[in-house]
Amino acid sequence: MNTTLFAAAPAEESLNPLIPHTAEIIIGLVVFAILFFAIKKFVVPNFEKAYADRAAAIEGGMEEASKAQAEAEALKEQYAAQLADSRHEAARIREEAKEQGAQIVVELRAQAQAEAERITSTAHVQIEAERTQAFQQLKGEVGSVATQLAGRIVGESLEDQALQRRTVERFIAELEESAN
């Protein structure tokens, strides 16, 4: 038994271990072809589909980003225009308020002037009335004092009202003539 085993050993040694058997090469090529066909049929289309989907998503994302950027720019310009309009409107409102304020000041000054003139004229009328009243009162007092003095000087009583009034009027008329 040992002889057959040992006899086969030198025959196997004559085979080169680096060169595979022809059957292994054929089986390897068939398996490689089947594997290549399966990969080409099932795996590569899925990779290509995933690649195409990814490329489409990226391109779509880029298009959406450019659209969003364009919309953002449009909104920014619209906002800037609205802001400028708002500033112009605010300036116009301020100017109107200033004009209205100036007009109110003018109206209030006119009202105050009219009120001052009314108060002044009322005061003049009241002063004139008080002066007239004081003059009448003074005239009566001066008349009675003058009558008493004249009665003492003349030595007789001037009780007669008509006589007393004429004497007082004559005395006041003389005073007015001497004042003028």
pLDDT in tens, 40-88: 999 999 999 999 999 999 988 888 889 999 999 999 999 999 999 999 9
**Largest CA-CA distance found in the chain, in angstroms, rounded:** 205
165 is a domain residue: yes
Angle at 17 between CA 12 and CA 22, to 5 degrees: 85
If one counts the domains in the chain, the total is 1
Is residue 159 included in any domain, yes or no? yes
Least confident range from 25-34, 138-147, 169-178: namely 138-147
Residue 100's pLDDT is 93
Q: Is residue 94 part of a domain?
A: yes
Residue 14 resides in a domain: no
Contact 158, 164 (CB under 8 A): yes
- For residue 30, being part of any structural domain is answered with yes
Task: Give the tens place of pLDDT for each residue, 93-147.
Answer: 999 999 999 999 999 999 999 999 999 999 999 999 998 888 888 877 877 777 7
Please report the pLDDT score of residue 136 as a whole number.
81
- Identify whether 113 is part of a domain: yes
The pLDDT-based confidence of 6 (bands split at 50, 70, 90) is: very low
Q: Is residue 32 part of a domain?
A: yes
* pTM metric for this prediction: 0.38
Residue 16 lies in a domain: no
> Which residue range forms the structural domain that includes residue 100?
24-179
